Homo-oligomer: A and B are copies of this chain.
Amino acid sequence: MVTDEQSASSLSRSELREIWSELSAEERVDDFKKLSAIDAAKFFADLETIDQARIILALPIDERRLWLRSLDPDDAADVIQETEEEEKQALLEMLDASMRSEVFALLAYAEDEAGGVMNPRYVHVRPDMSVNEAIIYFRKQARTQQETIYYIYVLNNEQHLVGTISMRELLLASPEQQVRDVMRTQLITISENLDQEEIANLLSENSLLAVPVLDKDGRMKGVVTVDDVVDVVQEEATEDIQKMGGSESLDAPYLQITVIEMIKKRVGWLSILFIGEMVTASTMQFYEAEIAKAVVLALFLPLIISSGGNAGSQASTLVIRAMALGEVRVKDCFRVIKREFVTGVALGSVLALIGLLRVIFWPSASTIYGKFFVSLGFAVSLSVFGVVLWGALVGSFLPFVLKKVGWDPASASAPFVATIVDITGLIIYFTVANIFLRGAVL
C-alpha cells in the first residue's frame, strides 16, 4: 500500500530491515516492542505480511487492536489470512463494523487473484455531479482514505462503473461542466478472479496506474493499483526463478527462512531428480559390454550428457520466461518447436565440430584413444549433435506439457530437463558409437 509518507524518523527503513534480517522470529517480536512509536509504526507498515501477523499475535490484546487497525483493509485481510482459524474470529472482532465487513469480504478471495489484491476503498462520484461538486466531494472522501488516489470512479445508482476521470482531468475541466461530460467511458476493467500475474501484465502493457475490479454483474468492488503490482511482479519472478533452479519457491527471504524450512523446500525435488537419474545406472547396464570392450567410450560420457543438459536448460528457461510474460502461449507450441529445431541443429553443429576437432587433433590422440580415434571422433561428434538437438526439443516442449496438464511450466527446471535428456543422451551415444565403431573396437 502506498502512503504519501516518504520518511520521517531516525532510522531508515532499510537500516531497520537490515538489523532485523539478523534476528530470529522471536527476537524480532522482542525487538519490535522496544522500538520508538514512530519507528515501530513506520517499520510495521513495511513488514512482510507473515511478520506483521507474528507481531500482532505476540502482542497483548489491547495493542493488537491498534496495529491491526493501522492497516488498510486489504493488508489487514492478508494478515488475518496468515493466522490460525481460531485466531481469525478474534482478530476480526477487533475491527470496527465497517472495516470488519470489508475485511470479511476480502477473506473470501484467494490471495493471488484480483479480489485478494484489490483495495475496496476508492474515490467515487456520480455522473450528474458538476465538476466543482465532484472536487468538493472528492476532498471529503480523500480525507478519510489512506490510499493515494489515482483515478476517480464514476458510479451510477446500481454501483455500476460508468466512467473514470483522473484528478488532473478534474482540475483542468471547467467547474460547471457535468462529470458525465468530461469522464472517459472507454474502460479497461478486470473480474474478481483474474490471476495477479495477468493483472501485472495488463497494467504494464497498458501503462495503467490502477484498474477497477468488477463483479460478474458489473458492480465495482475495488481497485488494484500499480504499486501492489510491483511487488507481485517481483514475487512471481522470484517464484519462477526458484522453481527453475530445481527447488520449491522459498516464499521468504533467503536469510530469513530457517535452515530446516530451506532443506524441506529443496530435498523434495532433489530426491525426485536423484531417483529419476537412477535410470541412467540401469541404462548404462545395457552398455556394460561396450564399455568393457572400449573403456575409451566412458571418457566422453560426462561431456556428451552435459551438452544435452545445457542445451535443454537454455531452451526451457527461455520458453518458461516467455510464457510467464505472455509472449508465448500454448497455441504457439508448434512455432516454438520449429524454432528450437532450427536453433538446435545450428547449436548442435557448432558443438559437434568443436568435439570432432578435440578428439582428432588432441596431442597423441592415437595413443590415448586407440587407432580408431578418427571413428571415435565422429561418434562423439554425431552424439553431441544428437543430444544438443534433443535437449533443445525436450527443453522447449516440456513447459508446454506441464502447462497443458495444469502444472506450473516453471517446474520444467534446468535439472529436470537435464535428467530426462541424460537418459536419452546415453542411448543416443551408445547407439551412435555402435554404428561407428562396430567391427573396430566394439
Contact = CB atoms under 8 A, between A and B. Distances in A.
Contact of A6 (B184, B277, B426): B184
Given A164-B6, A203-B230, A322-B253, A347 B46 contact: no
A411 interface: no
Contacts of A143: 172
Given A2-B209, A234-B204, A245-B244, A347 B187 contact: no
Nearest to A236: B237
B302 A284 contact: yes
Most buried by B among A240, A305, A415: A415
A231 interface: yes
A409 interface: no
Interface residues on A, range: 35 or more
A339 to B, nearest CB: 6
A66 interface: no
A361 interface: no
A164 B4 CA distance: 10
A247 interface: yes
Nearest to A151: B4
A49 interface: no
Interface string A404-436: 000000000111001100100010000000000
A77 interface: no
A46 B325 contact: no
Contacts of A8: 184, 186
Interface in A237-256: 237-238, 240-242, 244-247, 250, 253-256
A308 to B, nearest CB: 11
A311 B263 CA distance: 11
B171 A266 contact: no
Contact of A255 (B277, B309, B322): B322
Given A280-B303, A298-B284, A226 B230 contact: yes
B346 A242 contact: no
Interface stretch (A51-59, A85-93, A107-115, A350-358): A350-358
A409 B426 CA distance: 32
Contacts of A259: 339, 342-343, 346
A211 to B, nearest CB: 9
B318 A250 contact: yes
A328 B255 contact: yes
Contacts of A148: 150, 166, 168, 209
A263 B302 contact: no
Interface stretch (A13-21, A23-31, A126-134, A216-224): A13-21
Interface in A308-334: 309-311, 313-314, 316-322, 325, 327-328, 332
Interface in A1-48: 1-9, 13-14, 17, 21, 45-46
Nearest to A293: B295
A347 B266 contact: yes
Given A237-B237, A240-B241, A291 B302 contact: no
A414 B414 CA distance: 7
A105 interface: no
A317 B250 CA distance: 11
Contacts of A45: 207
Interface in A356-391: 358, 368, 384, 388
Nearest to A425: B302
A263 to B, nearest CB: 5
Contacts of A168: 4, 142, 148-149
The 10 closest A-B pairs by CB, nearest first: A245-B317, A237-B237, A254-B322, A280-B302, A414-B414, A310-B415, A253-B327, A284-B299, A4-B166, A298-B298
19 contacts: A8-B184, A204-B231, A237-B241, A245-B317, A247-B318, A254-B327, A254-B328, A255-B336, A255-B339, A262-B339, A267-B350, A280-B302, A291-B295, A291-B298, A298-B298, A305-B306, A306-B422, A414-B414, A414-B415
Given A148-B168, A288-B295, A302-B302, 4 more contacts: A7-B186, A142-B172, A233-B237, A259-B342
